[in-house]
Copies of this chain bind each other. A is one copy, B any other.
């Protein structure tokens, strides 16, 4: 068995100067794993942020090609993490091996996708307005713009994706691609996993000659606050709870120098089941919907937490089908005790609300999560009752029956911001309910038709974002290549000689990237 050190990583070195030790636990048994992790001291948090700041000038000065090589080497290192690693992740998270294998390959593909973005060069946002010396009444100087990384980024790993939204996950990948060194705050739910992945990052950084401090990792409860408040940190990426995300946003906004936070937080991901779809395929919809609700023990940001249909005998039958399917499902082990406890609290909130009826599910007890189904009065949505706006993270969903098309609109208007909304409908439904798309566009980051929101493709067109409280800034995404934009800012050069310009803006266009030249896209040299 491989050894674990449990050390923080600061400026390319291991560091364990503190006395507080943390233990990782077996998610199934609750039993402590035989490795200690050293909570970062205040000095270590400071040193990690400073190491990232020290690495920034050298790291951002590397060519995009060099950064791409780093990300690709890291992808290879991730792919090489073996069965023993997979077993470790499973042990810390109670997620099945097939899921972790899939997530490993998703995480390495994500690195390669950002390497591709770096080679493609559109991330530079290169724009050139050439001088117009004869323009009247005033000449125009030569002006050229490209984008650079903001500086060191603090990344907070999520519990539910120990690889894809964690140590070497999407926030880290997009920050590193942008030229921003990272200080990663490891999630307490999978610290051994984090150490293994951090080792992989260190190997890739070493092999490709990256500056020390390009990636740093700290362990510990409460160390995040000091990190977000550290003057060297210039942006934050976070995936987790509304409460946690909002707290980080508030801290970041209250700094002497406020910094941007992209926090992906809370979404109930409404699914709207339209009448003709129920007529054509109620059984398949019920089955697929329940599979999406229960997948991974409901521990997805895009888990469908709300299902809306229009009152009809067909919808009543559909509700019964869903109730039966949910009632038949076994309990599952959640990521950790905290998640299970939050799930229990969320269920109690639903059970205790007079406008909500419990339709299926064994009483929640013991150390596993029981799948549950609820039904809520449409008025709760229409009046914006907070009980339906809060995500209950786990294998449960709430059905809402609306009276008619007008009430459907009213109910959807009552929703806060979401990561996704899904429409299940036949062509006739889509004609009849054509107002849904523009309405949902105002509420969500991604609209799906006849699919299920769990499963977030990593590609150029993906948006894993949306209006508050789904995220803290609807302009960003934490999945897909647009995620890099969160960590870039434009810089303009006026009247600069060609030799002093960055390659992306030189006349010869040595990177052969597309640029906006005098208002027209072009790959030509000037």
Contacts and interface: CB of A to CB of B under 8 A. Distances in A.
A229 interface: no
A446 B516 contact: no
A148 B460 contact: no
Interface stretch (A10-18, A154-162, A451-459): A451-459
A364 interface: no
Nearest to A440: B491
Contact of A462 (B249, B482, B492): B492
Given A120-B519, A441-B148, A521-B514, A495 B460 contact: no
B459 A475 contact: no
Contact of A144 (B461, B477, B490, B521): B461
A145 B258 contact: no
Interface string A112-130: 0000100010100101110
A495 B143 contact: no
Given A150-B474, A441-B491, 12 more contacts: A57-B438, A102-B137, A122-B516, A129-B459, A141-B457, A145-B463, A145-B480, A437-B500, A449-B496, A467-B489, A474-B489, A521-B521
A488 interface: yes
A122 B260 CA distance: 25
Interface string A55-93: 011000100000000000000000000000000000000
Interface centre among A462, A480, A491 (most CB of B within 10 A): A491
Given A140-B459, A447-B496, A468 B258 contact: yes
Contacts of A116: 519
A129 B519 contact: no
A51 interface: no
Interface residues of A, number: 80
A291 interface: no
A490 B472 contact: no
Given A260-B473, A451-B141, A460 B490 contact: no
Contacts of A493: 446-447, 449
13 contacts: A122-B521, A127-B460, A129-B460, A141-B451, A141-B457, A145-B463, A150-B475, A253-B258, A437-B500, A446-B492, A465-B490, A467-B489, A475-B486
B57 A490 contact: no
A334 B338 CA distance: 61
Contacts of A434: 500
Nearest to A519: B460
The 4 A-B residue pairs whose C-beta atoms are closest, nearest first, are A253-B253, A463-B492, A143-B461, A446-B492
A127 B490 contact: no
Contacts of A151: 442
A260 B252 CA distance: 13
Contact of A250 (B253, B461, B485, B494): B253
Contacts of A247: none
A122 B520 CA distance: 10
Nearest to A505: B461
Contacts of A260: 473, 475
A143 B494 contact: no
Contacts of A495: 448-451
Interface string A200-215: 0000000000000000
Interface in A176-196: none
Contact of A475 (B120, B141, B143, B488): B488
Nearest to A448: B494
A354 interface: no
A491 B258 contact: no
A472 B258 contact: yes
A2 interface: no
A365 interface: no
A241 to B, nearest CB: 16
Nearest to A255: B468
A313 interface: no
A257 interface: yes
Given A474-B150, A490-B463, A497 B449 contact: yes
A489 B465 contact: yes
A494 B449 contact: yes
A445 interface: yes
A102 B137 CA distance: 9
Contacts of A441: 148, 491
A410 interface: no
A526 interface: no
